[in-house]
Amino acid sequence: MDDVTRLLAIEDIRQLKARYYRCMDTKDWEGLAKVFAPDAIFDLREVNSVRHPLTGLWEPPYGGEADVHRGHAAVLTMIRDAVTKLITVHHGHMGEVEITSDTTARAIWAMEDVISNAPGEPAMHLHGYGHYHDTYLKLDGGWAIQTTRITRLRLSRG
Amino acid sequence: MDDVTRLLAIEDIRQLKARYYRCMDTKDWEGLAKVFAPDAIFDLREVNSVRHPLTGLWEPPYGGEADVHRGHAAVLTMIRDAVTKLITVHHGHMGEVEITSDTTARAIWAMEDVISNAPGEPAMHLHGYGHYHDTYLKLDGGWAIQTTRITRLRLSRG
Amino acid sequence: MDDVTRLLAIEDIRQLKARYYRCMDTKDWEGLAKVFAPDAIFDLREVNSVRHPLTGLWEPPYGGEADVHRGHAAVLTMIRDAVTKLITVHHGHMGEVEITSDTTARAIWAMEDVISNAPGEPAMHLHGYGHYHDTYLKLDGGWAIQTTRITRLRLSRG
């Protein structure tokens, strides 16, 4: 792959990830559907777990197979169910994107999420930080997220 | 437009937006002046409004025509008056940049702002999240912000 | 330097900085070691100082020469000692990267850091915002951080 093609792929993937976050938080389900590949997998096993800085171990709760959502429809349903009634802010920050072939890529993105109940609902507030670990596939319509997995640095509640 | 020219334009606009945030928060008014086009428009009608996740409606207060600042001098004056006595942090995050012609572009950027009074002043704290919706113009001196509009996902006070 | 080489350098430096943050927060010391040039300098004199918005002056505590860490080993030791027992989140945001020659570059990055004690330790929480001011050197193995300096917009404790 020549340099310009690689730079274009990185730019496309960076904007794809921005679109993922924006569509999720503005509840643009049509836009969100276009972000994922048909065989997308969303791995949430570590989404409520944080790594203890002294032991280096991931602390519970650590999810199981039920927290791995497989296929385009299952991934979209999971996200929609998770965020539709909440005020959510998901921010992607700096990332490391590696183009591994003409049609495949992977990336790690720093992330922050701020989630709370809607006004009038019981108070609930989560504020987390961590990383997304993604792989991407180039389809006819452009790059799409094939697999995505969240790890946590920090999660506060209250 | 060839691929390299488009990539250069996207990179220039990404750095332009970074400069906008940095100059505003470090109170570098000369630097900030260079960021905007002569006929710049800053639309703040939705800056205090948040979209309710259940109804999908923008909740008041929703501003009026007086919250649309038109022209380079008016935009600079508005920003300077708004932030000069405060401690402000404005962060731009991931964005989607589209080059629409050799001299025009548009983008949506995720944003976060943290605003408080200076030490010794009465306590005041705002923490918001949302998006900037911008258009850009390529002038002789490079890309500049032509129109910019803020929408909110979340705004907390206290 | 031609346009494509410049774009590649900017992309490499952006990913280098992402790697710096990720390795620091995940305590990946081998990865972190690769980020810095042999003669790296980390200037922390302003890391606890914030600029007062009304006076424009940097407020104490403002560090001295002991807060400037010189050389690869000293920089790595300082970071390791500073973060190894803490839960840390360091986020880099938008940046302005300037390639100054085939082998040198500089950048300013917006940053945010969230630092607290591990569970079971006495409560300690810092949340800061500011900028990194960096220079970079292109070595045989790629771009590396040569000098890095932090300035603060805001720092809250408690």
Q: Which of A7, A129, A154 sits opposite C11 (nearest CB)?
A: A7
User: Is A91's CB within 8 Å of B56's CB?
Assistant: no
User: Is B22's CB within 8 Å of C131's CB?
Assistant: yes
For A83-87, what is the mean pLDDT? 92
The 10s digit of each residue's pLDDT in B119-129 is 888 888 999 99
H-state helical runs in A27-154: 29-33, 72-83
For C42-48, what is the mean pLDDT? 90
Size of interface A-C (CB pairs under 8 A): 63
The 10s digit of each residue's pLDDT in A90-102 is 999 999 999 999 9
The 10s digit of each residue's pLDDT in C73-116 is 999 999 999 999 999 999 999 999 999 999 999 999 999 999 99
Q: Domain range for residue A141?
A: 3-157
Q: Using 50, 70 and 90 to split pLDDT, how confident is the model at B92?
A: very high
Are the CB atoms for C8 and C16 separated by under 8 Å? no
Q: Which of A21, A114, A116 sits opposite B94 (nearest CB)?
A: A21
For residue B93, give the chain A residue with the closest CA.
A93
Lowest-confidence pick of B39-53, B54-68, B88-102: B54-68
State how far the alpha carbon of C33 is from the alpha carbons of A83, A120, A130, C71, C77, in Å.
39, 50, 21, 12, 10
The 10s digit of each residue's pLDDT in A3-58 is 999 999 999 999 999 999 999 999 999 999 999 999 999 999 988 787 777 777 66
pLDDT at position B67 over 70? yes
pLDDT at position C143 over 70? yes
The closest alpha carbon to B23, from A103, A124, C94, A104, belongs to C94
User: Is C21's CB within 8 Å of A129's CB?
Assistant: no
User: Is C26's CB within 8 Å of A54's CB?
Assistant: no
Residues 6 or more apart whose CB falls under 8 angstroms from that of B62 comprise: B45, B46, B48, B49
pLDDT at position A67 over 80? yes
**Contacts C15 to A, Cβ<8 Å:** 95-97
Residue A129 structure tokens: 């930080």
**Contacts A27 to B, Cβ<8 Å:** 53, 56
Q: Which of C18, C85, C91 sits opposite A54 (nearest CB)?
A: C85
The 10s digit of each residue's pLDDT in B12-49 is 999 999 999 999 999 999 999 999 999 999 999 988 78
User: B residues 128-147 near A, CB within 8 Å?
Assistant: 129, 131
pLDDT on residue A58: 67
Q: Using 50, 70 and 90 to split pLDDT, how confident is the model at A158?
A: low
pLDDT on residue A48: 79
pLDDT on residue C157: 81
pLDDT on residue B58: 67
C57 three-state secondary structure = coil
User: Is A94's CB within 8 Å of C14's CB?
Assistant: yes
Using CB atoms, which chains have 3+ pairs under 8 A with C? Answer: A, B
The one-letter amino acid at A144? A
Percent above pLDDT 90 for chain C: 80
CATH of the domain at B123: 3.10.450.50
CA angle C6, B93, C85 (to 5 degrees): 100
pLDDT at position B11 over 90? yes
State how far the alpha carbon of C111 is from the alpha carbons of A76, C7, C108, in Å.
32, 22, 10
User: Is C53's CB within 8 Å of B85's CB?
Assistant: yes
> In a mutagenesis test of the A interface, which of B93, B134, B156 is the best target, namely the one with the most A β-carbons within 10 Å?
B93
**Contacts B88 to C, Cβ<8 Å:** 53, 153
State how far the alpha carbon of B70 is from the alpha carbons of A21, B39, B149, in Å.
31, 7, 12
pTM assigned to the model: 0.95
Size of interface A-B (CB pairs under 8 A): 63
User: Is C86's CB within 8 Å of A153's CB?
Assistant: no
pLDDT on residue B119: 80
Q: Does B21 lie at the interface with C, CB-CB under 8 angstroms?
A: yes
Across A124-128, C20-24, C45-49, C121-125, the highest mean pLDDT is recorded for C20-24
For residue C53, how far is the Cα from the chain centroid?
A: 23
Q: Using 50, 70 and 90 to split pLDDT, how confident is the model at C158?
A: low
- Write out the DSSP string of B113-150: EEEEEPTTSPP-EEEEEEEEEEEEEEETTEEEEEEEEE
Are the CB atoms for A116 and B156 separated by under 8 Å? no
For B142-157, what is the mean pLDDT? 94
Q: Does C17 lie at the interface with A, CB-CB under 8 angstroms?
A: yes
User: A residues 64-103 near B, CB within 8 Å?
Assistant: 84-89, 91-93
**Contacts C131 to B, Cβ<8 Å:** 22, 26
For C113-123, what is the mean pLDDT? 89
Count of the separate structural domains present in chain A: 1
Please provide the average confidence, as pLDDT, over all residues in chain A: 93
Q: Examine the predicted complex and report whether its ipTM is higher than 0.85.
A: yes
Q: Which of C26, C89, C118 sits opposite A52 (nearest CB)?
A: C118
How do beta strands A125-139 and A142-157 pair? antiparallel
pLDDT on residue C127: 93
> How far is it, in rounded angstroms, from Cα A11 to Cα B134?
19
Minimum distance, in Å, between the CA of residue C120 and any CA atom of chain B: 29
The closest alpha carbon to A52, from C20, C80, C116, belongs to C116
**Contacts C19 to A, Cβ<8 Å:** 96
> How far is it, in rounded angstroms, from Cα C103 to Cα C12?
12
User: Is C153's CB within 8 Å of B89's CB?
Assistant: yes
**Residue C5, number of CB atoms within 10 A of its CB:** 12
Please provide the average confidence, as pLDDT, over all residues in chain C: 93
Are the CB atoms for C75 and C41 separated by under 8 Å? yes
pLDDT at position B158 over 70? no
